[in-house]
Every structure is written in structure tokens, then in C-alpha cells.
Amino acid sequence: MDIIDAIILGIIQGLTEFLPVSSSGHLELGKAILGDNSIPEESLLFTVVLHFATALSTMVVFRKDILDLIKGTLKFEWNEDLQFVSKIIVSMVPAVIVGLFFEEQLEQLFGNNILLVGCMLIITAILLFLADKAKDTNKKVSFKNAFIIGVSQAVAMLPGISRSGATISTSVLLGNDKTKAARFSFLMVVPLIFGKIAKDIFSGDLTYNSGNFTSLSIGFIAAFIAGLFACTWMISLVKKSKLSYFAIYCIIVGIIAIAFSLLN
């Protein structure tokens, strides 16, 4: 992988991990447009590095929240911090189940399945439109809500369904505060990303070639910087109810993807 491809992939991953437009969907579209040889799908290590970069950018943006949660949890009291951490654990259950038992089926949905990506982007757009019209509240995420949001996160494993878009929209449609919904959405994915990274490392599927060090480093930096920007920007957009702009974008890209797949 050359440096230009590494930068492009890093920026795409960093932006679309947080913006509600589907990172997996955009990577699939990118591979279809540029060709499989331009963006190698087999580079699992590169994918892991990019996901680590976006997880790290989330931790930087929410560093104060994470430190407070750790301090509160270590008190071993059923306080607000321990409850929040428990809700995150509950939200992880659906995605873990799907990841463990349906990994092969999910992998078959990737690989230039542009028609599916286009249809799923339109579904993402509908969710964003609905969430943008929801009234803002001061309601916190409950345990029941956490599980339902977790189900939407599991569904977002499909290429074209935005994880952040699905989880934030679901949370807001359940009547939760928009800012709290965004915070919960971004924090709930961090342990999942690290869990997936650990699984890939211990599986022995990762292969490292010292010749790829430059590409890996540049991809990591690009994803990290783009992730910092996108995460901060997304929080502001959710507060201001600006998700409809991304809904329009998803519809346009979805229609183009569907037309592209039908004409080829």
C-alpha cells in the first residue's frame, strides 16, 4: 500500500467512524471505485491500526469523562459512574453475540456488495431524519435503552448502516437527551474496538511486514487526526440538530451506489 492510499484510508476511517455516514459502506464504495488493487482488502493489520487510531481519538476527546468513570467505578459503589459502565457492558452484548456467532455470514456481505451498501445508506438516512425531528430532553440512557441501542449497534455491522448514526438515532428516538446520546454512542464502541483488536491479535491472522511501517504510521496519524475532528464536530452537530444534512448526503450516495451496481 502506498502513502497516498494510506492517507485516504486513514481520513475515510477517521471521519466516517464518527460522522453518521457508515465507515464500512464508504470503504466498500472506495474499493469499488478505485479497484481492489488500489485499496487492498487483505490488509487486516492496516484495518486494526486504523480502528485503534479512532478508538484512541475517542479516548482523547472524552478523556475527562473516562477518568471520572474510572475513579467512580473504583469506589465500588452503585453510583452513577458504575451504572454508566454497566450500561455500556449491557450495550455490548448484542454486538458480541453477532460478532462471535455470525462473523462468517457478515464477512460474506462485504466485498463490492454495492447494492446492499446503497440500500443500507438510505435506511441510515431515514433514521437520521427521524432523529433530527425528535424533541430534546434531559432523560438519561436507561439499562433497557442501553440494550436496545446495543441491538442497533449490532445491526450497524452491515455495510452501509452507520454505527454512530444508528446508535445516536436510536437513543434519541427512545427519548434520551441528544448530548447524552452522543456521549454514550461514542464511549460504548471503545471496549468493542479494543476487544476486536485483541481477538485479531491472538487469532494469529495478523502479519507484519517492516516495509509497511511507513504506510501504517501515516494511516494511523491520518485516522487519529480525522477522528479527533469528526468526534468533536459530531457532538456539536447532534446538539444543534443538524443530522438531516448527513441524511441528505446518505440518500444521494445511496442512490448513486444503487445505480452504479445496477448498471454494472
Domain boundaries, the chain: 3-263
- Rounded to the nearest integer, the mean pLDDT of the chain is 84
Which of 90-94, 152-156, 236-240 has the lowest average pLDDT? 236-240
In this prediction, residues 72-91 reach a mean pLDDT of: 92
Q: Are 256 and 46 in contact (CB under 8 A)?
A: no
Which pLDDT does position 224 carry in this prediction? 94
Helices (H), the chain: 3-16, 23-34, 44-61, 63-73, 80-101, 103-107, 114-133, 143-155, 163-173, 178-203, 213-239, 243-263
Which pLDDT does position 211 carry in this prediction? 58
pLDDT digits (tens, 9 = 90+) for 24-73: 777 667 666 666 554 444 456 777 788 889 989 999 999 999 999 999 99
In this prediction, residues 228-238 reach a mean pLDDT of: 87
Q: Which residue type is seen at 144?
A: K
Which pLDDT does position 39 carry in this prediction? 46
**DSSP structural state of residue 47:** H
pLDDT of residue 231 exceeding 50, the answer is: yes
What does pTM read for this prediction? Answer: 0.84
Q: Which residue in the block uniquely carries the three cell numbers 477517521?
A: 14
Written as nine digits, the cell of 119 is: 440500500
pLDDT of residue 152 exceeding 50, the answer is: yes
Which of 89, 106, 193, 92 has its CA nearest to residue 151? 92
More confident residue, 223 or 132: 223
In this prediction, residues 88-101 reach a mean pLDDT of: 91
In this prediction, residues 126-155 reach a mean pLDDT of: 89
